[in-house]
Amino acid sequence: MATPPPLTPEQRAAALVKAAEARAARAEIKARLKMGSMSLKEALDSDDGNVGKLKVVSMLESLPGVGKVKARRLMEEIGIADNRRVQGLGNQQRKALLDELH
C-alpha cells in the first residue's frame, strides 16, 4: 500500500478543519432527517455533496421509525451494499427506497 504524500503542518491543519466541517455538515443532515425537516426524497434529490457522501445505512437509520435492523433489511431486499454511499445509488435503487419508505 502506498504511503500518502507528506504534508506540511499547515496542510495537515487545513485538512483536519475541512474534515471536521464535512462531518458537522453530515451530522446536520442526519439531524434534519430525524426531526422531519428534510424528507428522504429531498435528501436523495439534493445536489449537496455532503448528502452524497453519507452512507445509505446511516441516512436510513436517521429517519423516524427506521432502526438498524429495518435499515439493513430494506437495503438487503433492494440490493444495496452495506458500504454504499448515497451518491453511488442508481435510479432504480433510489426509486425502490422511496417506494418502500413512503
Q: Does residue 31 register a pLDDT over 80?
A: yes
Residue 40 domain-assigned (yes or no): yes
Rounded CA separation 6/75 (Å): 39
The total number of residues shown for the chain amounts to: 102
- pLDDT over 80 (residue 102): no
Q: Domain with 79 in it: what CATH number?
A: 1.10.8.50
Query: What's the whole-number mean pLDDT along residues 2-31?
Result: 92
Residue 1 inside a domain? The answer is no
Domain that holds residue 36: 12-101
Residue 3 inside a domain? The answer is: no
For residues 22-38, give the mean pLDDT.
94
Query: Which residue, among 43, 42, 14, has the nearest Cα to 26 in the 3D structure?
Result: 43
57 domain-assigned:
yes
Residue pair 79/61 in contact by the 8 Å Cβ criterion: no
Q: Is residue 56 part of a domain?
A: yes
Q: Is the pLDDT of residue 73 over 90?
A: yes
Number of domains in the chain: 1
Average pLDDT over residues 13-18: 95
Q: Helices 91-101 and 68-78, interaxial angle, to 10°?
A: 130
- Please tell me the pTM assigned to this model: 0.84
